[in-house]
Amino acid sequence: MIALSTITESVDVAVPVSTAYNQWTQFESFPHFMEGVERISQTDDRHTHWVTKIGGSTREFDATITEQIPDERVAWRSDSGPDHAGVITFHRLNERETRVTAQMEIDPEGFAENVADKLGIIDRRVKGDMKRFKEFIERRGGQETGAWRGEVSAPGQVPPT
């Protein structure tokens, strides 16, 4: 039986929901606010390649975007490397504020990751990443670095026409 760890973290950002969502779709900007992420390249509408460096160890893995709905959600799952999946949701609080929530399931791989999980290090890292996202987008004066407004349908759903 696989023991997945579930992490949920939210942050309220002082930007409209479309700005928060647009920035989150700019995966190449993640190294600016995600600890341990060296670079991300988006190979097509559904696929990303990640390079991470944690504790001196570099890892590369691929992930698939399983669902993407503008101003609502971005969901993914790993295709290789550490087993994880998640969804980022965007909730409009008012015209100028948005709640961004990350929900992730991670299967810690190896002794070091299992220890980090048990000590709450992974939870704290996600919390820090969300806080840094808030600082990143707000420091830019509410201006995103780009946007991708396309939609990716969940498996088994018919794409919108």
CA separation for the pair 76, 68 (Å, rounded): 9
Number of domains into which the chain is organized: 1
CA separation for the pair 88, 104 (Å, rounded): 9
Does some domain include residue 29? no
Of 34 and 151, the one with more pLDDT: 34
- Please state, rounded to an integer, the average pLDDT across all residues of the chain: 85
- Predicted pLDDT of residue 114: 56
**Phi, psi angle pair for 27, to nearest 5°:** -55, -35
What residues contact residue 14 under an 8 Å CB cut-off, 6+ apart? 96, 97, 138, 142
54-58, 98-102, 141-145: the lowest-pLDDT one: 54-58
- Predicted pLDDT of residue 36: 86
pLDDT at 115 over 70: no
Average pLDDT value for residue range 31-49: 92
Does some domain include residue 36? no
Average pLDDT value for residue range 93-121: 75
The pLDDT > 70 percentage for the chain reads 83
Per-residue model confidence as pLDDT tens digits over 58-84: 888 999 999 999 999 999 999 987 788
CA separation for the pair 145, 64 (Å, rounded): 22
Q: What is the CATH number of the domain that holds 78?
A: 3.30.530.20
Q: Quick check: helix, strand or coil at residue 121?
A: helix
pLDDT at 3 over 70: no
Does some domain include residue 147? no
Does some domain include residue 32? no
Q: How is residue 26 written in tokens?
A: 């700019």
DSSP 21-90: HHHHT-GGGGGGTSTTEEEEEE-SSSEEEEEEEETTEEEEEEEEEEEEETTTEEEEEESSSSEEEEEEEE
Does some domain include residue 45? no
Distances (CA, A) of 5 to 27, 41, 55, 117: 23, 26, 20, 8
Does some domain include residue 18? yes
Does some domain include residue 121? yes
Range of the domain at 117: 5-24+66-139
CA separation for the pair 125, 28 (Å, rounded): 19
Does some domain include residue 51? no
Per-residue model confidence as pLDDT tens digits over 116-144: 555 556 678 889 999 999 999 999 887 88
Nearest to 73, CA basis, from 130, 33, 21, 28: 21
pLDDT at 158 over 70: no
What is the pTM assigned to this prediction?
Answer: 0.84
